[in-house]
Structure 1
Amino acid sequence: MTEPTLTALEQPAEDAAKQRERSTIGFPYNDLHDGIAVARAVHELGDRCGHDQLITPLGYSTVDNGSYSLRLAGARHFGLINFAKDGATLTPLGHRIVDPQQEERGRADAFLSVPLYRKLYDEYKGKSLPPTNIGLEAVLVGYGVAAKQKDKARQVLQRSADQAGFFYQGRDRLVLPAIANRPLETPGQTPPAPPPDPKGKDDGSGGGGPIYPTLIKGMLEKLPVEGGSWSKSDRDQWVKAMELILDMVYALEADPPSC
Structure 2
Amino acid sequence: MADNDNGAIASTQTAEEKKRFRSEIEFPYADLESAVDVAKTINVKAGSSCEVEELAAWMGQSATGGTFRTRLGAAKMFGLIEGAQGRVSLTPLGHDVLDSAGAAPAARVTAFLNVQLFSAMYEQFKARTLPPPPAIERQVVELGVSPKQKDRARQTFMKSAQYAGFIDASTGRFVKPGIVQREEAPPERREEERRRDGGNDGNEPPGLHPFVQGLLKELPKAGSIWPEDQRQLWLDTASSIFKMIYKEPERERKGMFAKKNPDEAE
TM-score (norm 2): 0.63
Please give the alpha-carbon distance, in whole angstroms, between the structure 1 residues aligned to 2:139 and 2:171. Answer: 16
CA contact (8 A) 1:72 1:83 kept: no
Deviation string for 1:102-136 (max 9, x for gaps)? 11111111111111000110122233332x21111
Note if 1:151 corresponds to 2:146. Answer: no
Structure 1 residue 90: deviation in Å? 0.6
- Deviation, 1:55, is 1.0
Amino acid at match of 1:50: E
The CA distance in 1 between the partners of 2:58 and 2:170, in whole Å, is: 35
Deviation at 1:85, TM superposition (A): 3.5
Q: 2:20 is matched with which residue?
A: 20
C-alpha distance in structure 2 between counterparts of 1:95 and 1:11, whole Å: 49
* CA separation of 1:18 and 1:170: change in aligned 2, threshold 3 A: farther
Q: Check the 8 A contact 1:51/1:86 in 2, yes or no.
A: yes
Question: Pairwise CA RMSD of aligned residues?
Answer: 2.2
Tell me, in whole angstroms, the C-alpha distance in 2 between the residues paired with 1:57 and 1:191. 41
Whichever residue aligns with residue 185 of structure 2, its letter is T
Match of 2:109 in 1: 108
Distance 2:171 2:42 in 1: 32
The amino acid of 2:148's aligned partner reads K
Considering fraction of residues, name the structure with more helix: 2
What's the offset of the Cα at 1:20?
1.4
Indicate the residue corresponding to 1:253 in structure 2. none
Gaps of 5+ in 1: 1-5, 194-259
Q: Distance in 1 between matches of 2:65 and 2:140?
A: 28
2:10 corresponds to = 10
Q: Distance between the aligned counterparts of 1:110 and 1:127, measured in 2?
A: 21
Map 1:79-228 to 2 at 5 A: 79-101=79-101, 102-130=103-131, 132-169=132-169, 173-179=173-179, 182-183=180-181, 190=185
Partner of 1:69: 69
The alpha carbon displacement at 1:98 in A equals 1.0
TM superposition shift of 1:173: 3.1
Q: Which amino acid aligns with 2:95?
A: H
SS at match of 1:150: helix
Q: Alpha carbons of 1:177 and 1:67: their partners in 2 closer, same or farther (altered >3 Å)?
A: same
1:48–1:90 Cα contact (<8 Å) kept? yes
C-alpha deviation, 1:147, in angstroms: 0.3
Work out whether residues 97 and 106 of structure 1, in 8 Å CA contact, stay in contact via their aligned partners in 2.
yes
Distance in structure 2 (CA, Å) of the matches to 1:74 and 1:150: 17
Work out the CA distance in 1 between the residues paired with 2:170 and 2:21: 32
Check conservation: 2:128, 2:175, Cα contact below 8 A.
no
Give, in whole Å, the separation in 1 of the partners of 2:77 and 2:156: 12
Structure 2 Cα separation of the partners of residues 144 and 138 of structure 1: 10
Q: By how many angstroms is 1:72 displaced?
A: 0.5
Provide closer, same or farther for how the CA distance between residues 74 and 176 of structure 1 changes in structure 2, counting only shifts above 3 A. same
* Residue-by-residue CA offset, 1:19-51 (whole Å, 9 max, x unaligned): 110111111111111000001112221211111
Once residues 171 and 140 of structure 1 are traced to their aligned partners in structure 2, the CA distance between those partners, rounded to angstroms, is 23
| Aligned pairs for 1:35-46 within 5 A | 35-44=35-44, 45-46=46-47
Alpha-carbon distance between aligned partners in 2 of 1:89 and 1:170, rounded to the nearest angstrom: 37
Identity percentage of aligned residues? 36
